[in-house]
């Protein structure tokens, strides 16, 4: 890769990052309004999330040491790096080089940084929250990766931008939701786990473990964690849209798909209670993993869905 | 030469004030409350939070720990035991922070004014920004009180944390006088 | 004897150095330890310089050595680990009962591995293989348990004897002991191939610690003296990888066994014995991960993680493709370095606090920040997270598994990968982060001579994670030298048939993200520092740090799900019981004191000898 490509790619990535921030934060506010209507009330203004994040960034918080600060920066850096790789519509910072594993593992840098910083604050509730978050990760990642294996085997490429491009070329019939419906169902359930929406909200659990990892955060560190949350929602929902719904070519199409997935996830989460952590693992290692393996076997042995 | 220096200092102050104004705008419209429900007035909080009166319209929402919260709601009477812990929670919060007191008990003792274990005036131990009257205040009064707090933040009258910081010795003297020194007595420190 | 630089010179020099170490330690312990440091470092430099001598044969008395590409690769990794760990010997001299024997056996273990990797014929290989087992067998009891050494020796003896059977069988069939020629001839003959595969394979699997032969690994690695655990885990298990490499790549097994097998309408991509290896590797990953998650002892946890990583290596070797073998070799490299660094960090903690039980430690980052950083980099590499070297190897393995459509094995590998986040995080959180206990308030940072090798190993992890192609080019040469296809490397990119990554680019983007986060952080108001005990406790007053530290039974909800599952130790104990029952029966039937039984057996034997003509 010559320096020109790297420079242009980084510029595209930064633009995608800024777009992601404004897009997702507005959408979070709008979703709060939709959820409020679901609860038969009005809800806050649509730009409420912006106000929350900036309020937090202007507060004078506390600090428990250098690892508490460093972990937050490492987490936000990792997530922002992952967001820069994400293809949006037909723009991608580094097309062909954004392998699906980069998303999984660079995301894990973010999680590790946040976990490090949370436990570094010294509160045992943060340790419990991180333990639950990591255990939950074992639950939702394995079925998701098996479905992704089926997709990679079928299409012959592991790059997310190329997988999205393959689905955009031939219209609705080539979307993976139509060709691999079981896989899409498993992917959606795993998306609920990734987003941390009920019933998989175990690691936040405000009433049980006082918001888990975020227990000792205040001020700008919490503001950066909220930014991290927005970017990670962007990455997860975009990944789902690109892999299963075929990406999008127009802004309207992208908006409809993205908003549809996120609002559906939020509404489902409002109607369900919270699982305990061993129930989460038992749930994921029953039907989702079985369906994911069935989907993989269908693609590998029968050749359907390619 | 000195004129340009003055102009720079002026500009810097204006920038700081501008920045202050912006952050005050954000803080006023996004208050997170710590549900430190001390007494009977806490019954009225769920009504204010849920669908009928909907506190989220004002941008307020509940938060689990003092570190994350902006507003400490002292809802009702404070016994001596609870006051010690409320002071600890208030000092753990990040500045800028506000305190809203519900009911007549923090004002003058309310119906427990002659109890031996209850304090009468919260304002001598912690700085209060807004009082909400009523025993207990109805949810409309609670929402009204929150709106007063938001207006107070916007026109800089709600500065309880600054009062606490500037008059710290006076507050501490009152606290020690009423609550006594903190003696550590558990099985590890006999 | 000419003094030209050659493998035999290195090996002879190491023999001499081990005797010298023994003598000098008797005089002055620290000096003897320094001999090990100097000898390992010198051997590393000489081996690095010997890259040009690949292919030539040298003799040392009756032993024949030849340096192959893959032998050189394994030797350099081994020597790097030995050289870095040898600095720790200096600090352990006062703690050992027999320091002189320790130093001598340390260098003899090194000699054994070098000899095994550069052996030209099977007899040399066997002699040095046994030397490795012998030397390490006597070092392990210097630690906490003598029974661990017995288990280690029992398993290793089983493996070595099986390998000896294979060697003698091949000699009987082909009349020679030379490794590459015999193996390539065996590839043409199905019976010889299967015998060689099974016997040498068992030796390799036992040494590597793959299920079902993984029992000895946590006992030996967990109970060995602290400076020797990284050698065992980062170094000597790779000898098992070497044996597996011999049968899979040098033989090679995909030429020896047919690949034309149909299964439910789809052709298999690997011969059946390779599939068996891959399945064993997958089970080993799951077992190792689950056992590691439930450990409370720091060193046993890292030992179980070696079991899991051995599974990855075996899967990669069994797939025998260009990318998968490259992934396995890169994983050998990355895991050796990361595992050694993690064990060294554990050793530094033990040196300063005296315990490896995680629920007694806590908050050590405030007293030992550099050790924390070393451990953090090691676990980032072990978990396979960019920007460290472990990410590259895991990516290559996953990409090849996806390309071949091995759904179940890939599911086990994904489980192991995500599960590794769990067990690597536990020591970080329980030992280094959290509350600092009052009894460790005055613990000092690890001494500078200990920090030096730890920092070197961490730098290696980072550098080869950002620029992996420096190592991957060497690995590609190793692969082409045994007839497998090489790796496609373009500049800083690694290109596979179904995907490509550019690790340097990933690091650049991550760095850019970190920079933006740092700018956001520094721009907004400064936080005020509060002491560590000022926590959210629902405003309750707590004064004991131990009460605020979450370390005991860290993953209790997850562990409860598999607590009742059967353990492999139970299987072995059942086998032991059955064997002893058989022995008791034999003793009852044939060796009893009753005259009637003796007469019966005498009569039967006489009749049998006379051929039944008496009847």
Q: What is the pLDDT, as a whole number, of residue A50?
A: 92
Max CA-CA distance within chain B? 68
Continuous segment of H or E residues that includes residue C529: strand C528-529
Query: Which of A246 and C106 is assigned the larger pLDDT?
Result: C106
DSSP E strands: which ranges in C461-516? 488-490, 493-496, 499-501
pLDDT at A25: 94
Burial readout A111-132 (b: 16 or more C-beta within 10 A, e: otherwise) = bbbbbbbbbbbbbbbbbbbbbb
What is the nearest CA distance from A251 to chain C, expressed in angstroms? 26
Instruction: Pinpoint the alpha helices (H) of chain B.
Output: 2-29, 44-49, 80-92, 105-108, 139-154, 160-166, 168-179
Interchain CB contact of A222 with B (< 8 Å): yes
Q: What is the pTM of this model?
A: 0.91
Assess contact for A150 and A163: CB atoms under 8 A. no
Phi-psi category of residue C178: left, alpha or beta, with phi > 0 → left and psi -120 to 50 → alpha: beta
Q: Closest Cα partner for C183 from C1, C191, C192? A: C192
Hey, what are C210's tokens?
């793959």
Q: From A72, B137, B91, select the one nearest C541 (Cα to Cα).
A: B91
Query: Burial code of C402-415, b = ≥16 C-beta within 10 A, e = fewer?
Result: bbbbbbebbbbbbb
User: What is the C-alpha to C-alpha distance for residues B56 and B31, in angstroms, rounded to an integer?
Assistant: 10
Nearest CA to C226 among C139, C337, C115? C139
Inter-chain CB proximity A58 and B50 less than 8 Å: no
- Residue C33 sits at φ, ψ, to 5 deg, of -65, -40
- Rounded CA gap, C567 and C564, in Å? 9
Q: Could you tell me the two tokens for C265?
A: 């309408």
Q: Among A160-164, A260-264, B147-151, where is mean pLDDT lowest?
A: A160-164
CB-nearest partner of B27 from A48, A55, A217: A55
Tell me what percent of the residues of chain C surpass a pLDDT of 70.
98
> Max Cα separation, chain C?
107
- Spatial separation of the C-alpha atoms in residues B151 and B144, rounded to whole Å: 11
Is C253:C271 a contact under the CB 8 Å cutoff?
Answer: yes
User: Which residues are B34's β-sheet partners?
Assistant: B63, B72
Phi, psi of C488 (to 5 degrees): -95, 110
* Mean pLDDT (whole number) for A53-58: 90
Q: Does B59 touch chain A (CB under 8 A)?
A: yes
Which pLDDT value is given to residue A118? Answer: 92
CA separation for the pair C365, B189 (Å, rounded): 26
Question: Distance between CA atoms of A218 and A203, rounded to whole angstroms?
Answer: 18
CB contact (8 A) between residue C418 and residue A6 = no
The CA distance from C359 to the nearest CA of chain B, in Å, is 19
Nearest in space to B157 (alpha carbons), one of B30, B70, B28: B28
Q: How far apart are CA C196 and CA C212, in angstroms?
A: 20
Q: DSSP for C250-308, please give it.
A: ITTHHHHS----EETTEE-SS-HHHHHHHHHHHHHHHHHHHHHHT--BHHHHHHHHHHH
Q: Which residues pair with C600 in a beta bridge?
A: none
pLDDT at A6 over 60: yes
pLDDT at B189 over 60: no
User: Binning pLDDT at 50, 70 and 90, where does residue B190 land?
Assistant: very low
**With contact defined as beta carbons under 8 Å apart, do A60 and A270 qualify?**
no
A259 vs A251: CA distance, rounded Å: 12
Q: With 90 as the cut, is the pLDDT of residue C59 above it? A: no
CA distance A90 to A80: 20
Over range A199-228, report the average pLDDT.
Answer: 85
Taking the C-alpha atoms of residue A136 and residue A122, their distance in angstroms, rounded to an integer, is: 22
Question: Is the per-residue pLDDT at C256 higher than 80?
Answer: no
Q: How many residues does chain B have?
A: 190
Q: CA–CA distance from C49 to each of C7, C43, C309, C474 (Å)? A: 11, 10, 30, 14
Contact in structure between C183 and C173 (CB atoms under 8 Å): no
Tokens in use for A140? 């939702």
What is the distance between the alpha carbons of residues A95 and A8, in angstroms, rounded to a whole number?
Answer: 12
| Residue C540 forms contact with B (CB below 8 Å) | yes
* CA-wise closest residue to C85 among C355, C342, C372: C342
Instruction: Give the H or E element holding residue A227.
Output: helix A220-244
pLDDT of residue A174 exceeding 80, the answer is no
The residue among A99, A156, A230, A302 with the most chain C CBs within 10 A of its CB, best to mutate, is A99
Longest CA span, chain A: 60
Kindly tell me if the per-residue pLDDT of A207 is higher than 80. Answer: no
pLDDT above 80 for C25: yes
B66 close contact with C: CB closer than 8 A: yes
Write the CB contacts of A209 (distance below 8 Å, at least 6 apart in sequence): A125, A128, A129, A132, A215
Query: Can you list the domains of chain B with their CATH numbers?
Result: 32-146 (3.40.50.12280)
Determine the Cα–Cα distance for residues C362 and C545; give it in Å rounded to an integer.
9
C258 vs A31, residue with greater confidence: A31
Residues 147-176 of chain A with CB under 8 A from chain C are 148-150, 152-153, 156-159
**Nearest-CA distance A191 → chain B (Å):** 25
CB contact under 8 A, A218 and B68: yes
C614 pLDDT more than 80 = no
C528 DSSP β-pair partners? A62
Q: Which of C534, C540, C543 is the closest to B189 by Cβ?
A: C543
ipTM metric? 0.93
pLDDT one-digit tens code per residue, C319-344: 888 888 999 999 999 999 999 999 99
DSSP string, A33-70: HHHHHHTTS----TTHHHHHHHHHHTSB-EE--HHHHH
Angle in degrees, CA C227, C437, C440, rounded to 5: 45
Q: Testing the interface with A: which of C527, C533, C539 to mutate, by most A Cβ within 10 A?
A: C527
Q: Which residue has the tokens 């070797």?
A: C317
Residues in chain C: 615
Q: How far is A292 from A189, CA to CA, in rounded Å?
A: 11
Q: What is the pLDDT of residue A1?
A: 60
Query: How close does chain B come to A17, measured CA to CA in Å?
Result: 23
3-class SS of residue C63? strand
Does residue C66 sit in helix, strand or coil? strand
pLDDT given for residue C222 in this prediction:
86
Q: What is the dihedral of CA C102, C107, C111, C112, to 10 degrees?
A: 20
Lowest-pLDDT range, A1-15, B7-21, C99-113?
Answer: B7-21
Percent over 70 (pLDDT), chain B: 94
Residue A223 corresponds to which tokens in the numbers above? 């503001």
Confidence of residue C547 (pLDDT cuts 50, 70, 90): confident
The per-residue pLDDT for B141 is 93
Selecting from A32, A48, A60 the residue whose C-beta is nearest the C-beta of B30 gives A48
Nearest CA in chain C to A12: C509
Identify the pLDDT of residue A109.
87
* Residues C114/C81, Cβ–Cβ less than 8 Å: no
């Amino acid at each position: 890769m010559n320096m020109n490509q790297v420079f242009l790619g980084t510029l595209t990535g930064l633009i995608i990052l800024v777009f992601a921030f404004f897009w997702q934060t507005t959408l979070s506010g709008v979703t709060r309004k939709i959820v409020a209507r679901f609860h038969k009330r009005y809800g806050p203004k649509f730009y409420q999330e912006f106000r929350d994040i900036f309020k937090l960034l202007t507060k004078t918080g506390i600090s428990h040491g250098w690892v508490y600060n460093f972990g937050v920066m490492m987490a936000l850096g990792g997530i922002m790096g992952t967001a820069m790789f994400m293809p949006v519509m037909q723009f991608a910072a580094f097309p062909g080089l954004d392998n699906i594993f980069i998303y999984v593992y660079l995301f894990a840098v973010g999680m590790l940084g946040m976990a490090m910083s949370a436990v570094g604050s010294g509160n045992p509730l943060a340790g419990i929250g991180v333990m639950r978050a990591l255990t939950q990760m074992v639950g939702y990642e394995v079925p998701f990766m098996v479905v992704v294996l089926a997709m990679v085997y079928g299409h012959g490429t592991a790059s997310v931008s190329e997988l999205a491009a393959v689905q955009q070329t031939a219209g609705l019939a080539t979307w993976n939701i139509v060709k691999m419906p079981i896989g899409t169902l498993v992917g959606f359930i795993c998306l609920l786990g990734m987003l941390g929406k009920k019933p998989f909200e175990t690691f936040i659990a405000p009433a049980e473990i006082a918001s888990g990892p975020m227990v000792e955060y205040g001020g700008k560190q919490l503001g950066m964690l909220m930014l991290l949350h927005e970017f990670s929602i962007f990455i997860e929902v975009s990944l789902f849209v690109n892999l299963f719904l075929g990406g999008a070519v127009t802004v309207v199409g992208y908006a409809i798909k993205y908003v549809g997935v996120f609002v559906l996830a939020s509404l489902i989460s409002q109607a369900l209670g919270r699982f305990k952590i061993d129930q989460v693992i038992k749930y994921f290692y029953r039907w989702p993993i079985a369906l994911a393996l069935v989907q993989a076997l269908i693609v590998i042995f029968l050749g359907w869905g390619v | 030469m000195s004129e340009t220096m003055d102009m720079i200092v002026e500009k810097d102050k204006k920038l700081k004030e501008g920045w202050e104004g912006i952050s005050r705008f954000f803080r006023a419209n996004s208050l997170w409350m710590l549900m430190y429900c001390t007494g009977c007035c806490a019954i009225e909080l769920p009504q204010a939070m849920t669908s009928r009166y909907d506190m989220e319209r004002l941008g307020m929402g509940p938060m689990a720990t003092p570190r994350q919260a902006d507003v400490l709601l002292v809802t009702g009477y404070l016994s001596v035991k609870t006051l010690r812990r409320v002071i600890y929670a208030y000092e753990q919060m990040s500045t800028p922070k506000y305190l809203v007191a519900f009911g007549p008990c923090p004002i003058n003792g309310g119906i427990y004014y002659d109890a031996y274990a209850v304090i009468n005036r919260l304002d001598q131990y912690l700085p209060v920004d807004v009082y909400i009257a009523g025993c207990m205040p109805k949810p409309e009064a609670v929402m009204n009180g929150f709106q007063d707090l938001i207006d107070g933040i916007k026109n800089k009258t709600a500065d309880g944390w600054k009062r606490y910081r500037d008059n710290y010795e006076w507050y501490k003297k009152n606290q020690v006088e009423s609550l006594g020194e903190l003696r550590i007595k558990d099985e590890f420190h006999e | 004897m000419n003094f030209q630089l050659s493998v035999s010179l290195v090996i002879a020099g190491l023999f001499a150095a081990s005797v010298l170490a023994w003598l000098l330690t008797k005089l002055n312990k620290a000096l003897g330890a320094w001999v090990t440091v100097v000898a390992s470092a010198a051997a590393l430099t000489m081996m690095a310089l010997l890259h040009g001598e690949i292919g030539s044969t040298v003799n040392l008395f009756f032993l024949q050595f030849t340096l192959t590409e893959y032998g050189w690769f394994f030797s350099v990794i081994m020597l790097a680990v030995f050289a870095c760990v040898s600095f720790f010997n200096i600090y352990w001299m006062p703690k050992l009962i027999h320091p002189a024997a320790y130093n001598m056996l340390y260098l003899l273990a090194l000699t054994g591995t070098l000899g095994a990797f550069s052996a030209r014929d099977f007899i040399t290989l066997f002699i040095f293989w046994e030397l490795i087992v012998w030397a390490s067998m006597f070092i392990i009891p210097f630690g906490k348990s003598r029974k661990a050494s017995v288990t280690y020796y029992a398993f290793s003896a089983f493996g070595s004897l099986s390998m000896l059977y294979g060697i003698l069988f091949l000699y009987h069939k082909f009349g020679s002991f030379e490794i590459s020629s015999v193996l390539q001839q065996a590839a043409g003959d199905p019976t010889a191939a299967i015998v060689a595969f099974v016997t040498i394979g068992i030796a390799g699997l036992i040494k590597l610690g793959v299920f079902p032969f993984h029992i000895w690994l946590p006992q030996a690695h967990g109970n060995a003296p602290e400076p020797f655990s990284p050698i065992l885990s980062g170094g000597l298990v790779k000898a098992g990888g070497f044996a597996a490499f011999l049968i899979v790549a040098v033989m090679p097994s995909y030429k020896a066994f047919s690949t034309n097998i149909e299964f439910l309408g789809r052709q298999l991509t690997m011969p059946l014995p390779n599939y068996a290896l891959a399945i064993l590797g997958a089970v080993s990953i799951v077992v190792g991960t689950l056992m590691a998650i439930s450990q409370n002892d720091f060193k046993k946890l890292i030992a179980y993680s070696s079991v899991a990583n051995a599974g990855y290596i075996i899967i990669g070797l069994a797939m025998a493709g260009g990318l998968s073998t490259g992934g396995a070799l890169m994983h050998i490299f990355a895991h050796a370095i990361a595992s050694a660094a993690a064990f060294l960090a554990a050793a530094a903690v033990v040196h300063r606090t005296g315990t490896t039980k995680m629920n007694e430690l806590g908050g050590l980052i405030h007293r030992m920040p550099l050790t924390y950083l070393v451990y953090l980099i090691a676990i980032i590499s072990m978990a396979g997270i960019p920007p460290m070297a472990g990410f590259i190897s895991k990516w290559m393995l996953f990409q090849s598994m996806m390309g071949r459509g091995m759904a179940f094995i890939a599911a086990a590998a994904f489980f192991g990968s995500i599960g590794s986040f769990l067990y690597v995080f536990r020591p970080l959180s329980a030992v280094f982060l959290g509350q600092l206990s009052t009894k460790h308030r005055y613990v000092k940072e690890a001494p500078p001579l200990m920090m030096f090798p730890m920092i070197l190993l961490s730098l290696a992890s980072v550098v080869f994670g950002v620029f992996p192609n420096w190592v991957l080019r060497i690995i590609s040469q190793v692969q082409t030298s045994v007839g497998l296809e090489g790796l496609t490397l373009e500049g800083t990119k690694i290109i596979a048939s179904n995907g490509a990554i550019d690790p340097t680019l990933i690091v650049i983007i991550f760095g850019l993200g970190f920079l933006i986060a740092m700018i956001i952080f520094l721009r907004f108001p400064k936080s005020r520092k509060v002491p560590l005990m000022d926590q959210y406790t629902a405003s309750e007053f707590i004064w004991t740090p131990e009460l605020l530290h979450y370390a005991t039974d860290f993953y209790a909800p997850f562990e409860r799900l598999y607590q009742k599952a059967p353990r492999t130790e139970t299987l072995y104990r059942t086998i032991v019981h059955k064997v002893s029952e058989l022995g008791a029966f034999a003793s009852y039937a044939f060796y009893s004191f009753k005259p009637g039984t003796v007469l019966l057996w005498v009569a039967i034997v006489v009749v049998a000898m006379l051929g039944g003509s008496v009847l």
